[in-house]
């Protein structure tokens, strides 16, 4: 396992249209670190995460390098309503690897969808659909996770589940960057606070 940082930003600025959301960000994420990106609405949390995930390369000015693949969960689940939870995972375009049927079934059991394996996702609630997306956290995954508001539409037991998954990922030597308005109780939480176009690093 290399000791290179998984994310390294050097004098990175993120623009949206003509506006500069974040200026001159120097920041790195190492293996085993858990980062929460905080800030008021509109300060650029999602834009930062999209740049990190490689979805918005043209919004970036400066340097922001990422080591290897990433698991990205955005505001949209990537869940197809016409497919059952099983089909959603088996045919997921979000993972480079092919999961075995045993792995996906177990992951769906873990996220609490064991009763709904073959039900079309449009019959499930918003929270349950979100959980199909979260099953990706239980399956084999890349070292870097980028989670944008993972707690949306998730109940208390779901929050506990996410905390366990994040904990496991940190202990495996992975790294997690997430945005949320509430903290996750998992390991040492570091915080990148965005305000006034700057990123301020807390709690290292």
Binding to other proteins by residue 83, rule CB under 8 A?
yes
Phi and psi based region of residue 62 (left: phi greater than 0; alpha: psi -120 to 50; beta: remaining): left
Total Cβ atoms within 10 A of residue 193? 16
Choices 19-27, 36-44, 52-60, 152-160 (CB under 8 A): range interacting with other proteins: 52-60
Binding to other proteins by residue 87, rule CB under 8 A?
yes
From the list 20, 24, 80, 127, which residue makes contact with other proteins (rule: CB under 8 A)? Answer: 80
Beta-strand runs (E) in 40-143: 60-66, 70-73
Binding to other proteins by residue 91, rule CB under 8 A?
yes
The SS3 call for residue 193 is strand
Binding to other proteins by residue 18, rule CB under 8 A?
no
Closest approach, Cβ 92 to other proteins, in A, equals 7
The footprint of other proteins on this chain (CB under 8 A) covers a number of residues equal to 32
Classify burial at 72, counting beta carbons within 10 Å of its beta carbon; exposed 0-12, middle 13-18, buried 19 or more: buried
From the list 5, 32, 54, 197, which residue makes contact with other proteins (rule: CB under 8 A)? Answer: 54
C-beta closer to other proteins: residue 27 or 72? 72
Nearest-5° angle of CA 62, CA 64, CA 68?
A: 155
| Closest to 6 (Cα-Cα) out of 136, 130, 177, 171 | 177
Closest approach, Cβ 172 to other proteins, in A, equals 19
Contact positions with other proteins (CB under 8 A) in 143-172: 146
Closest approach, Cβ 64 to other proteins, in A, equals 15
- Give the residue carrying structure tokens 């996410």: 162
- What does the binding site for other proteins look like in residue numbers (CB under 8 A)? 53-59, 69-72, 74-83, 87, 91-96, 98, 120, 142, 146
């Amino acid at each position: 396992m290399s000791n290179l940082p998984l994310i390294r930003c050097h004098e990175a600025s993120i623009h949206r249209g003509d506006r500069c959301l974040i200026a001159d960000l120097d920041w790195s994420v190492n293996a085993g670190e858990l980062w929460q990106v905080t800030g008021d609405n509109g300060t650029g949390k999602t834009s930062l995460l999209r740049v990190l995930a490689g979805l918005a390369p043209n919004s970036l000015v400066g340097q922001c390098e990422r080591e290897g693949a990433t698991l990205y969960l955005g505001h949209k689940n990537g869940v197809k309503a016409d497919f059952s939870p099983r089909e959603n995972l088996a045919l997921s375009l979000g993972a480079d690897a092919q999961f075995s049927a045993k792995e996906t079934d177990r992951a769906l059991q873990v996220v609490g969808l064991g009763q709904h394996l073959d039900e079309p996702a449009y019959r499930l609630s918003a929270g349950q659909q979100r959980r199909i997306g979260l099953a990706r956290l239980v399956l084999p995954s890349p070292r870097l996770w980028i989670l944008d508001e993972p707690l949306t539409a998730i109940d208390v037991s779901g929050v506990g589940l996410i905390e366990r998954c994040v904990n496991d990922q940190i202990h495996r030597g992975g790294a997690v960057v997430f945005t949320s308005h509430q903290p996750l109780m998992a390991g040492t939480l570091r915080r990148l606070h965005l305000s006034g176009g700057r990123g301020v690093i807390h709690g290292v």
